[in-house]
Amino acid sequence: MIIFFIFIVAIIYFVFTSYNQLQRNAQHVKACLSNIFVSTQKKINLVNQLIDVTKKYQENENLTHLTISDNMTQSNIAANHSNANSALVGIQGVIQQYPELKANQHYQSLMTTINEVENDISHQREKYNESVREFNTSRSTIPTVFIANILKFPEAPYLDFNQENTEQTLLKNFNTDHSERLTEIYDATKQRFVEKSQYIRDKVEQQKKPALDKEQALITKEVIPSQSSSVADHHSKN
């Protein structure tokens, strides 16, 4: 009974420890991707400001404002990054025709900030892919992989700015909220423990019963002869 109880407690401890570790790593992955998403939005805003500055020198229909999507998907992040770079290439073409634009202080300030944001995005992408590697490595190790499969923790996708190779994966599909599943496992384990405990108690009672019956029989055998002897002595005296 005690060994079984310790075994159940050990399993529950292992499940929750593995879950907490997976959850921490998963939240880190989400946070890293969120940082990239915010930075790409910032880059697009800066490029749109740069387009406004450029249009003061030439009304170019090819230079249109970029749209910003609130849907945080890997494909959208890669598309935003690619569109911003394409717009910058178009702006560079205008600069070749209008050298005075390059000397514009507002233009220079925006380009400096854009380069800084681009460096941030590059570092953030490295951090994101590193967090993905750590999560997937942790998820695939034994015995954590069994818990991950039971709780349906998916593998985290890497981020590649090559849009053709980017998985159309919504961040929200990287679902790591398993509170309902954990409750189900806990309830099932608790029920199993109660049933097993009752089974063990019944077995113990069944094992005790023959011993008690045997002990009772021995007592009966000892008592009956003793009583018979007492009765015989009483009659002999009379």
**Domain match, 110 and 228 both:** no
Domain end point (choices 162, 177, 192): 177
Residues 6+ apart with CB under 8 A from 129: 158, 159
Instruction: Clarify whether residues 26 and 66 are in a common domain.
Output: yes
- Are 169 and 71 contacting, i.e. CB atoms less than 8 angstroms apart? no
Over its length of 238 residues, how does the chain's per-residue pLDDT go in tens digits?
A: 677 677 777 777 888 888 888 889 999 999 999 999 999 999 999 999 999 888 887 765 567 888 877 777 777 888 888 889 988 988 888 888 888 888 889 989 999 999 999 999 999 999 999 999 999 998 888 888 888 888 788 888 888 876 454 444 444 455 555 556 556 665 666 666 666 666 666 666 666 666 555 656 565 655 455 544 554 454 455 5
Tokens 């019956």 locate to: 213
Taking the C-alpha atoms of residue 125 and residue 35, their distance in angstroms, rounded to an integer, is: 9
Within 13 Å of residue 13, how many CA atoms lie on the same side as its CB? Answer: 6
Cis ω before 99 (30° cut-off from 0)? no
pLDDT for position 15: 80
Task: Judge if 173 and 183 occupy the same domain.
Answer: no
Residue 152 zone, left/alpha/beta (φ > 0; ψ -120 to 50; rest): left
Q: Which of 162, 163, 145 is nearest to 154 (CA)?
A: 145
CA dist., res. 228 & res. 122, Å (int): 102
Residue corresponding to tokens 């097993």: 196
Q: Are 234 and 165 found together in one domain?
A: no
Domain region containing 120: 2-177
* 200 shares its domain with 157: no
Neighbour-count burial for 89-124, b at 16+ CB within 10 Å, e otherwise: eebeebbeeeeebeebeebeebbeebeebbebbeeb
Q: Give residue 218's pLDDT.
A: 60
Neighbours of 232 (CB within 10 A): 10
